[in-house]
Structure 1
Amino acid sequence: MIMLLFVDNLTNVDFSYLHTERGMLGETWLASASLEGALDEQGMVCDFGDVKRLLRHFLDKELDHCLLVPTLAPNLTIEQQDDYISLTWAYGTDKQLSCKSPAQAIALIETTEITPESVATWCIAQLKQHFADSIARLDISFADETIDGAFYHYSHGLKKHAGNCQRIAHGHRSRINIWLDGAKATHLEADWAKRWEDIYLGSDEDLVKSDQHLHFEYVSAQGPFELSMPKSQCYMINTDTTVEWLAQHIANTLAQENPGKTVRVQAFEGLHKGAIAEAKT
C-alpha cells in the first residue's frame, strides 16, 4: 500500500538572500514536508521522529542563518578559495553589494532566482540520497508567516554570538507592535516598517569605511567576515543588533519623537520570538 506522510510546520528558517531588484533581503519561512511510500512491517512509511530529525538537521545546516545565493543569476561573480567565498552582486538599476565569508555561511543554490519553489527543489535534490528506496516521492514547501499588520525584512550579523547568528549576512522577516500610552499605534508600526524596508542593520563598531557604500568587517569564532552595502540600504545603531537592542533603539527613538508619552515596542526576530522594550522622555 502506498501512503502519504506529512509534517506541517516542521520548522522555520531565518536567512538572507539576493533579490534581483531589492538587493539583500532578510527572510523567514515556515517549512513543511511530505513523503510518499510503501508501508513497512510497522505499518509506517517511515518513523516520524527520524524524518523530523533528518529534515531539521538539513535545514538548520544548509539554510538557516545563511546567505542564499542564486548561482545561475546574471550580474553575479563568485569566487571560492579554500573555505571562503567571495561574491559581488549587481542589482536594480545601479546598485552593488559584495560579501566575503566562510563558506559555511553561504548557501549556493543552483537557480536563477531565490523563491520558495526553487529552494524547495534544491533541497529535495540534496535530500533524496538520505531516504530509503521505499520512499517514492519527497516534497518540501516553504511559506511566509501570515502577518496582518506591519513587518520589515532586515539583515544583520552578531559577531559576539557563539552560534550561527555571528554570520554577517543573515536575516529575518519580522512583525512589529507599538503602543503609545497603552494605545496601539498602527501608524507608527507602518512608519517603522517603511524605515526598515529591505534594510541592513549595522553596528557602529563594525564599520570600517564609509563612502557611497558602507563597509563592514569583523572576525568571529567562525572566521573573518566582510560586507559592503549601498549606504541607502543601511541603518546604523551604536550597539550590537540583537533583537533586545533593536527593540530598545526603536523605543528610545520614538520616545524622542513623541515627548511625554510612554512607548512600548514589541520587536520580533523572525517567528514567535523577540523582545519588548519601553521608553519615555
Structure 2
Amino acid sequence: MQLFVNDLTVIDFSYCCAERGIVGESWIVDVLLEGSLNEMSMVLDFAVVKKQIKAIIDDAVDHKLLLPMQNDTVSVEVSSHRAGHELVNFSAKQGSYYLQSPSCAFAKIDIKQIDIAAVKNYLTDIILSHLPKNVQGLTLNLRPENIEGAYYHYTHGLKLHDGNCQRIAHGHRSKIHIYKNGQRSAALEAAWSSRWQDIYLASEADRMASSEIELSATAMTNLTPDHQLFSYFAPQGRFDIAVPSNILDVVDCDSTVELLADFIVRQLKQQAPNDEFKVVAFEGVAKGAIANG
C-alpha cells in the first residue's frame, strides 16, 4: 500500500558549489510512503506525515548552508572563538567565502557535490530512521518551482529573526514581478534577476571591521581587500561572513522580503522618478511581499 503527500513543504537553503559559489535554493518536497497497514488501517496518519516528516526535513536542511564534505573546496573546523560554533572555509570559482556560525546552521553531507539526488538520499536515510516498522519504503521528490520568466538565487541572513532565518547563509530561489505604470516589465525583471543571480545580500548595518571579525586562521591569512565583512549576534549565537565583492550586493536595510521589495522600488524610482512602480518580490515559493512607489 502506498500513501502520498504532494507539496509537503518547501526547503529554503543555500549550498556550496565550486562553480557558482554559495547558491540560494528552494525545493518543493513530495513524499511517497510504502508499507503495510497499521492498527488504524493506515500506512501512516496524514497528521504524522505533515508534522513529523516535515519537522525532520526542516531540522536536517531547511534554512541551512549545505556543505559537500568530500569536496576539497570546503573545510570545516570547530571555532576557536565560541563554544558550539564552527568555522567554514570555502573556495569557489568566483572567490573565497569564510564563515562562522553556530553548528546548527550547517548541514555537513558526505558527498562531493550538492544536487537533488544527493540531498534526496541524505534525507531519505534520516527520515526512514524515524518511521514506524510498518513503513518499509520512502520516495522523496525534490523539485524547483516551475517559473516562467525571471528569477534569481540569493543568500542572506536576518539577525532580528527569532527562528532559523537568522542564519547568515541560507537562501532562496525566487521569481520577481515588476510593474511600470501598470504594465508588467519583462526587461526590468530580467535586469534584477541578472543583478541578483547567485548573489549574497548583506545589510550595511552589519558591516564589521577586520579587527572585530571572527573567522578561521586560514581566513585571516587569506582575506583580500576585495572581501567585505559582516557579522551580527542573534538568538542562536554569533554569525560572521566574509564575501567577495563580485558576488555581493549591500543594501541599506535589513534583507527581509518586505524591505527588499521596497529597496527595488526605491532603486527604480531613482532611475525614473516620474514613473510608478509595483514590485512583487517572492521569498522562495508562494510567499513574498508587494511594494509600491
Q: Normalising by structure 1, what TM-score?
A: 0.95
Consecutive aligned runs of 4 or more in structure 1 exceeding 6 Å deviation: none
Q: Report how many aligned residue pairs link the two structures.
A: 276
Deviations 1:45-102 (A, max 9, x none): 121211221111112222111111111112211113542111101111x611111100
Deviations 1:17-44 (A, max 9, x none): 1112000011111011111111234332
CA distance in 2, matches of 1:236, 1:84: 25
CA distance in 2, matches of 1:117, 1:275: 32
Match for residue 264 of structure 1? 278
CA distance in 2, matches of 1:164, 1:40: 35
For the Cα contact (< 8 Å) 2:201–2:251, is it kept in 1?
yes
Q: Which range moved further: 39-48 or 155-164? A: 39-48
Q: What's the RMSD between the two structures over aligned residues? A: 1.3
Is 1:83–2:97 an aligned residue pair?
Answer: no
Secondary structure class of the residue paired with 1:50: helix
Q: CA deviation at 1:209?
A: 4.1
Where in structure 2 are there 5+ consecutive unaligned residues? 211-224
Deviations 1:133-152 (A, max 9, x none): 22221121210001101111
For the Cα contact (< 8 Å) 2:18–2:73, is it kept in 1?
no
CA distance in 1, matches of 2:151, 2:172: 10
Match for residue 43 of structure 2? 45
CA distance in 2, matches of 1:272, 1:51: 21
Match for residue 102 of structure 1? 102
Q: CA deviation at 1:255?
A: 1.3
Give the one of 219, 230, 233 matched to 1:216: 230
CA distance in 2, matches of 1:40, 1:203: 52
1:22-37 superposed matches below 5 A: 22-37=20-35
Q: CA deviation at 1:207?
A: 1.1
1:1-281 superposed matches below 5 A: 3-81=1-79, 82-92=83-93, 95-209=95-209, 211-279=225-293
Identity of aligned residues (%): 40
For the Cα contact (< 8 Å) 1:30–1:145, is it kept in 2?
yes
Where in structure 1 are there 5+ consecutive unaligned residues? none
Aligned AA (2:137) = R
Deviations 1:158-196 (A, max 9, x none): 111111111111111111000111011110000110000
For the Cα contact (< 8 Å) 2:15–2:65, is it kept in 1?
yes
CA distance in 1, matches of 2:260, 2:44: 43
Secondary structure class of the residue paired with 2:51: helix
Q: Which range moved further: 133-142 or 196-205? A: 133-142
CA distance in 2, matches of 1:90, 1:225: 19
Secondary structure class of the residue paired with 1:34: strand
Q: Relative to total residues, which structure has the larger strand share, 1 or 2? A: 1
